Structure 1
Amino acid sequence: MKALARFSQFVGNSFALWVLLFAVLGFLLPEQFRQLTPWIVPLLGIIMFGMGLTISTRDFAEVFRRPVEVGVGVVSQFLIMPLLAVLLTRIIPMDPQVAAGVILVGCCPGGTSSNVMTYLAKGDTALSVACTSVTTLAAPIVTPFLMLMLASEYLPVDAWAMFISILKLMLLPLALGFLAQKLVPTLVRAAVPALPLVSVTGIVLIVAAVVAASKGAIAESGLMIFVVVVLHNGLGYLVGFLAARAAGLGLARRKAIAIEVGMQNSGLAAALATAYFSPLAAVPAAIFSVWHNISGAIVASVLSRMK
C-alpha cells in the first residue's frame, strides 16, 4: 500500500508531463484513444467522486469566516475568464465551434489543481480551496447561464440540459464522495493516498480521447487554438492578481485568486463540449488541460519568490 501511495504521489507531482504525454499519444494513435470518447462523462464523475472524498466541512467554514475574500475570488472566477474568452473570440478569427469551446472553458469553475499550485506559490491555500468549492457548487447554475448569454451566437445552447448534466457530472459524485467520508471513514482514509493516481488517470484519458477525436481539426488549426488558450490562461492569472489587489487583498491572497482565476476545470469543459457541441469544441479544453498545468507550475514558481 505504501508503494502505491508513493507511486500515486509521484504521478500527481508529475501531472503536467503525463497530460502532455497522453495528448501526444491521442494525436499519434487516434483510433485507439477515440474509443474512449463515450467514457469521458464517467471518467469526470470518478474524478469528482475523488474530490468529494477529500473535501471537508472546514473548506466551507472558510467561506463564512472570510466571505468578502471568497466573494472576490468567486466573482473574479466567473467574471474575468468568461469576459476574456469573449474578447479573444472577437479579436482572433476562429471557427464558431472553437469559439464556443473557448467560452465554455472560461465559464467553468476553478480546477482542483489550482489548490496545489497556490500552495507551491506560498499563497493562501485555504482561500483557494474555499473558492474552488464554492465555484464548483455554483457551476450547475452559473455555467449554463453564462453559456446561454455569451456563446449562443456561435452554437445553440441548451442551458437546462447543461444544468442537469453538471448536477450529474459534478454535484452528485461530489456528494456521494462526501457521504462516503461519513459512512466508511476508515475505508476512505485508506483510499485517499491513491486518489492522485485516479485523478490523473481520469484527466489524461479525457485529454487523449478529445485529442484523438479531433486530430484533423488540431492538425489544421491547433496552433491558433494553442495561442488562444495561452493568452486566455495567462491573462487570467494577470487580471485575477490585479483584481485581488484592487480589492485590497494581501499578497498571499492575491496569489491564491490569481491562480484560481487562471486555472479552470477543463475536464468539465471537455465533457460538456463533447456532449452538447462537438469534438472540435472540446479541443480548447483539452489543450487547456495540458497547458494550465505547465503554466501553473511556472507561475507558482515565480509567485513563490514574491514577498
Structure 2
Amino acid sequence: MNLRVPTAWFLSGNRSDSNYTVGVNNTVVGFQESEDLRIAHDVITNSILVLIILGMGCGITLDQFKLHLRRPTGVAIGLLSQTVVLPFASFALAHSLGLETEAAVGMMVMGVTPCGMMSTVFSYWVDGDVSLSFTISILSTLLAFGTIPLNLLIYSGSWTDKQFVIPYSSILVLVGMTTMPLLLGIFIRWRLPKVASVILKIGSYAGILLVALSLVMLSVLYPFMYWASWKIYIAAISYPYISFMFGYVVSALFKMENFRRRTIALETGMQNFTLCFAILEASFSHVTSDVMSVFPLLYGVNVRTAGFVFVGIYKFMEKYGPKPVLTEEAHHLKHANNHRESFRLEDQQTSKGFLDSEAAEENGES
C-alpha cells in the first residue's frame, strides 16, 4: 500500500484535481508518507498476523474442519453473507448516502473482498468457533477468484466503466499465509499439546498487539483519512455494525448455537481491506486510487474498534447478563482456550461428534 496524497476530493469546499488543492480556508493540503515506515509497518504486521494464525491453529483440530464440511450450515451462511449480501449492501449504502464516485468505488471494492484473518482472533476472544472462522475465511478467499470480478461487474457500473485488475497473485499469497501457519499449528497441537496451549495464548496476545499497532500506524501513516466528509464517516462507522448484525440475525434464524452466531457475525463484518488496496492500486492511477482509499482506510480503523465493542458487549453480558445454557461442544470449546487438559476433552468430543454424524448418515442411507 503506497498512498502519497490525501483525498482532497472528499473534503468540503472547492478542489483542483490537477494540484490537489482543497478549498478549506484556502489551504493547500499535501502529504507524503514515510516509505521506510510503511515497509516496516507491512513487515511487522504480516509477521504478527502469521503468529496469530499459528496460535489460533494450535487451538483446533482437523476433525473440527470435517464437521463444518459435513454440516455446512454455518459455512454457507458466512459465504452467502460475504459473496452476495455484503456486495449488495455496499451498493445500496453508497447510493443511499449519495457518495461521490471515488468514495463509492472504494466502498464497493471493500464490499466485494473476502473476510480478513483478524476475525479469527476476535472470534477466539468471544469464545466463538475458531475452526468455523478459519473455514469461512479460507473458502471465501478461494472463492474470491470468481466472486470479486463477478460482483464488480454487477455493481460498479453505477460509478465507473473501468476494467478492474484483480491481483490474483495477492489472493494466492493470502491463501498461503493462512494455510501454512494454520496447518503447522494443528500439527503442533496434535504432537505437542502442552506447547500448543502456550502458543495459543501467545497468539491471543499477539492479536491485541496487532490491533493496537495497526490503529496507531494507520493514523500515523495516513492521517488524511480523518479529513473525510461526514457521509464517508457514516458509511465507515455503520458498515461493520450492519454486517455484524446481519450475520448474527441470519445465523439465529437458522438456529445456530450462540457461539457460532458470534463467529459468523464477526466473519460477516470484517473484510480484508489490504486486498481492497491491492485492487484499487492495480486498477487505477496513483492519484485516483489514493482518493478511493479513504473509505477502506477509515473502515480499517473503525472495524477494529467495532470488534472491540463486540468483545466488550460479550464480556459484559457473560458477566452480568442471563447465563445461557451451553451445549457440551460449546463448553469444551470455551474452556479449551484456558486449560491444557481440556484439549484432550475437546478432541474426544469433536471426534465423537464426527463419528456420530457419520453413523447417523449411514443409518439414514440404509
Q: Report the TM-score, using the length of structure 2 for normalisation.
A: 0.61
Deviation at 1:289, TM superposition (A): 1.2
Q: Which residue of 2 aligns with 1:300?
A: 311
Deviation at 1:96, TM superposition (A): 1.0
Deviation at 1:200, TM superposition (A): 5.6
- How many residues of Structure 1 are paired with residues of Structure 2 in the alignment? 274
CA distance in 1, matches of 2:52, 2:151: 24
Does structure 1 retain, via aligned residues, the 8 Å contact 2:109–2:152?
A: yes
Provide closer, same or farther for how the CA distance between residues 273 and 130 of structure 1 changes in structure 2, counting only shifts above 3 A. Answer: same
Q: Which residue of 2 aligns with 1:291?
A: 302
- The amino acid across from 1:264 in the alignment is Q
* Matches for 1:188-267 after TM superposition, within 5 Å: 193=202, 196=207, 203=214, 207=218, 211=222, 215=224, 219=227, 221-267=228-274
CA distance in 2, matches of 1:239, 1:132: 17
CA distance in 2, matches of 1:240, 1:124: 14
* Matches for 1:263-282 after TM superposition, within 5 Å: 263-277=270-284, 278-282=289-293
Q: Percent identity?
A: 19
CA distance in 1, matches of 2:281, 2:240: 21
Q: Which has the higher helix share?
A: 1
Larger Rg: 2
Listed as ranges, the gaps of 5+ residues in structure 2 are 1-28, 325-366
Deviation at 1:136, TM superposition (A): 2.2
* Matches for 1:1-307 after TM superposition, within 5 Å: 30-33=31-34, 58=62, 60-159=65-164, 161-174=165-178, 193=202, 196=207, 203=214, 207=218, 211=222, 215=224, 219=227, 221-277=228-284, 278-304=289-315, 305=317, 307=324
- The amino acid across from 1:90 in the alignment is H
Provide closer, same or farther for how the CA distance between residues 225 and 43 of structure 1 changes in structure 2, counting only shifts above 3 A. Answer: farther
Which structure has more relative contact order (CA 8 Å, sep 6+)? It is 1
Does structure 1 retain, via aligned residues, the 8 Å contact 2:105–2:292?
A: yes
Q: Which moved more, 1:101-110 or 1:161-170?
A: 161-170
CA distance in 2, matches of 1:40, 1:268: 16
SS at match of 1:97: helix
Listed as ranges, the gaps of 5+ residues in structure 1 are 1-27
Quote the RMSD (CA, aligned, Å).
3.9
Deviation at 1:151, TM superposition (A): 1.6
Provide closer, same or farther for how the CA distance between residues 49 and 259 of structure 1 changes in structure 2, counting only shifts above 3 A. Answer: closer
CA distance in 2, matches of 1:39, 1:295: 26
Does structure 2 retain, via aligned residues, the 8 Å contact 1:120–1:300?
A: yes
CA distance in 2, matches of 1:243, 1:180: 33
CA distance in 2, matches of 1:202, 1:252: 28
Does structure 2 retain, via aligned residues, the 8 Å contact 1:46–1:173?
A: no
Does structure 2 retain, via aligned residues, the 8 Å contact 1:80–1:236?
A: no
CA distance in 1, matches of 2:267, 2:292: 23
CA distance in 2, matches of 1:51, 1:140: 25
Provide closer, same or farther for how the CA distance between residues 45 and 118 of structure 1 changes in structure 2, counting only shifts above 3 A. Answer: closer
Deviation at 1:42, TM superposition (A): 7.6
Q: Report the TM-score, using the length of structure 1 for normalisation.
A: 0.71
Deviation at 1:163, TM superposition (A): 4.9
Provide closer, same or farther for how the CA distance between residues 154 and 267 of structure 1 changes in structure 2, counting only shifts above 3 A. Answer: same
